């Protein structure tokens, strides 16, 4: 049940100014992000995978990811950016994936140029295996065609240096609306600015927790280098996991439940957060008295 109706599309928001989108993975996190005041959300693949108990290694299926996206969309009407990994196969698979996510109301999706299954570049030390550029271009073109303008396509590249610049230019020619270098693509802000110049379209940055982009990319720097969409994919997940672990360890260690609860969000606050008042009002409006 959406709490608000968004009046601005993601395209309008990024055309106007820099947009920050936090990583969410279910209805509760979508509600919390909306109530915090964000203007857009990101269905973080890292977080969706973690919520299923998996590392970010494309172990879940397209439909599992799509289910999470639909749950987020039901909880919030804010513009949603989705992580569609590698498109879950070849160009034909990528087209179907793009079509399905656009049908679900996603306003932008990012797809990477790794071989499938993908490997999270922040979590592995070795360079990740990439598709050849012609194959990657074909997937971008297929996904862009399938989206039919209903959803912006963000082409992510895990290449580095000059190869990343070459791929950025090629992906835009194939139909990408924005380019997303990863945290390991470039080593300084000047290279990001060059990528913006070469690509000719705005950039997307992932300010992943504990990376140099999170530390160095202030709003001022992001604007200077041509970033219009800044994702915060892991900060909410890390905060939630840390709080949950502490709570569970305290309970398992024998601490009084009342004491643990005293340090957490109070029941009445959570009831308000999750929207019980809206459900009660609907029951009064539509159901027979006393039901």
DSSP three-state, residue 291: coil
Q: Which two tokens stand for residue 188?
A: 């300084």
Whether the predicted pLDDT of 5 surpasses 50: no
pLDDT classification of 3: cutoffs 50, 70, 90: very low
**Centroid of chain to Cα 260:** 32
How many Å apart are CA 247 and CA 249, to the nearest integer?
A: 6
Q: What is the mean pLDDT of residues 50-59?
A: 94
6 has pLDDT over 60: no
Q: Which residues are bridge partners to 80 per DSSP?
A: 41
Q: Are 275 and 1 in contact (CB under 8 A)?
A: yes
For residue 2, name the pLDDT band (cuts at 50, 70, 90): very low
Ranking 24-28, 122-126, 133-137, 147-151 by mean pLDDT, the lowest is 122-126
Three-state DSSP at 61 gives coil
Q: Is the pLDDT of residue 13 over 60?
A: yes
CA 254 to chain centre: 37
**Position 8 confidence tier, pLDDT thresholds 50, 70, 90:** confident
Which pLDDT belongs to residue 127?
A: 81
Residues 168 and 194: beta-carbon distance below 8 Å: no
pLDDT at 1 > cutoff 60: no
Listed range (53-67, 70-84, 119-133, 221-235) with the worst mean pLDDT:
119-133
Least confident of 58-62, 227-231, 287-291: 287-291
- Cα separation, 255 vs 97, in Å, equals 47
State pLDDT tens for residues 155-206: 999 999 999 999 999 999 999 999 999 999 999 999 999 999 999 999 999 9
Angle between helices 133-147 and 91-103 (to 10 degrees): 30
Please determine, for residue 215, whether its predicted confidence score (pLDDT) is greater than 70.
yes
pTM of whole model > 0.85? yes
Give the chain's domains with CATH numbers. Answer: 10-235 (3.20.20.60), 241-286 (no CATH)
Average pLDDT, the chain: 94
Angle at 96 (CA atoms; ends 90, 97), nearest 5 degrees: 85
Residue 176, token pair as written in the block: 């990408």
Which residues are within 8 A (CB) of 196 and not within 5 positions of it... i.e. 6 or more apart? 202, 203, 225, 226, 227
Is 80 exceeded by the pLDDT of residue 120? no
Residue 126 clears pLDDT 90, i.e. is over it: no
Residue with tokens 């609907």: 282
| pLDDT above 60: residue 4 | no
């Amino acid at each position: 049940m959406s709490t608000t109706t968004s009046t601005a599309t993601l395209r309008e928001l990024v055309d106007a100014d820099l947009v920050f989108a936090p990583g969410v993975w279910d209805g509760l996190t979508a509600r919390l992000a909306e109530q915090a005041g964000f203007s857009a959300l990101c269905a973080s693949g890292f977080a969706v995978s973690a919520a299923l108990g998996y590392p970010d290694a494309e172990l879940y299926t397209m439909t599992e990811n799509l289910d999470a996206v639909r749950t987020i969309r039901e909880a919030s009407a804010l513009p949603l950016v989705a992580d569609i990994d590698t498109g879950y196969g070849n160009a034909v698979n990528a087209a179907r994936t793009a079509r399905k996510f656009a049908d679900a109301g996603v306003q932008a999706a990012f797809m990477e140029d790794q071989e499938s299954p993908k490997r999270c570049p922040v979590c592995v030390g070795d360079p990740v295996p990439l598709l050849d550029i012609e194959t990657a271009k074909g997937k971008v073109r297929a996904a862009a065609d399938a989206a039919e303008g209903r959803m912006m396509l963000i082409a992510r590249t895990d290449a580095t240096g000059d190869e990343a610049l070459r791929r950025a230019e090629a992906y835009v020619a194939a139909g990408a609306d924005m380019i997303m270098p990863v945290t390991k693509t470039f080593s300084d802000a000047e290279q990001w600015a060059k990528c913006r110049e070469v690509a000719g379209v705005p950039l997307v940055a992932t300010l992943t927790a504990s990376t140099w982009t999170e530390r160095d990319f202030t709003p001022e720097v992001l604007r200077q280098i041509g970033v219009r969409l800044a994702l915060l994919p892991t900060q909410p997940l890390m905060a939630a996991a840390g709080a949950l672990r502490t709570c569970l360890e305290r309970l398992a260690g024998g601490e009084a439940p009342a004491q643990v609860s005293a340090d957490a969000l109070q029941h009445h606050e959570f009831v308000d957060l999750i929207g019980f008042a809206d459900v009660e009002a609907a029951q009064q409006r539509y159901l027979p008295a006393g039901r």
